[in-house]
Structure 1
């Protein structure tokens, strides 16, 4: 596809990698950056792939759940106690560790669904054309480490 745009947002979260053999099995946090890339063969009526505001709104609504939250594998021995203590600020990852790779895939799948739904909203303030495709999601965990999930 000849046209591509990218939107980047940041959020802060903690996680525990219960399957990890090293220090990542202990609670720790990251300042994460999420970059999404969308593409289209043709520009819309406003000469855009889509308005950056549409992408930002869709992405923010996803990331708000994870911002300043603790992401945990539901199989982690401490999951129930931590969820009881911190409630909605514990994000459950069903049977899988919340690695950066898993987060990238989860964001990709959720954002792809939201973008698909948005193409059906004819009265949307910032419409998204049906030809817009989500190409990839990259999640940066540290200054030197990232994971990516793509179509």
Structure 2
């Protein structure tokens, strides 16, 4: 049995894609949604997290400081150190960052708009 947990977060940020052949070459912003997916094969048998695979609060404790430092109301070109912070780039950056601290990290989804998203999964 696998338990798949998802916790979502929202942030506002701006970026531009240097050399892009469309509108995204100009500075602009998005209302992003980040979803963190965790996959675990057991729940805690006892203690304060009894019957939980992972406490959603423990996910938030790792994600919220990252969002504050690198994403929310930031210029992603500057904070992520790239001239092309695409949704794909952001998803991979977040996965690499959180993989160090969230056990069972399985997937990261970045919604750049209400209709456009990218998901990166552990292979």
1:107-145: CA deviations, max 9, x gaps?
A: 111111022xxxxxxxxxxxxxxxx41110000000100
**1:113 maps to 2:118:** no
Query: TM-score, normalising length from structure 2?
Result: 0.89
Structure 2: which 5+ residue stretches go unaligned?
A: none
Over aligned residue pairs, what C-alpha RMSD do you find?
Answer: 1.3
**1:150 maps to 2:121:** yes
CA–CA separation in structure 1 for the residues paired with 2:19 and 2:54: 40
- 1:49 aligned partner: 53
CA–CA separation in structure 1 for the residues paired with 2:19 and 2:104: 34
**1:19 aligns to what SS in structure 2?**
coil
**Correspondences of 1:86-105 after superposition (within 5 Å):** 90-94=78-82, 97-105=84-92
Q: Greater CA deviation, 44-53 or 22-31?
A: 44-53
Question: What is the deviation of 1:2?
Answer: 1.4
CA–CA separation in structure 1 for the residues paired with 2:90 and 2:19: 16
Structure 1: which 5+ residue stretches go unaligned?
A: 73-89, 116-131
- 1:3 aligned partner: 3
- 1:85 aligned partner: none
Question: What is the deviation of 1:18?
Answer: 0.4
| Structure-2 change in CA distance of 1:57 and 1:141 (3 Å) | same
- 2:13 aligned partner: 13
Number of paired residues? 117
**2:99 aligns to what SS in structure 1?**
helix
Show structure 1 runs of 4+ deviating over 3 A. none
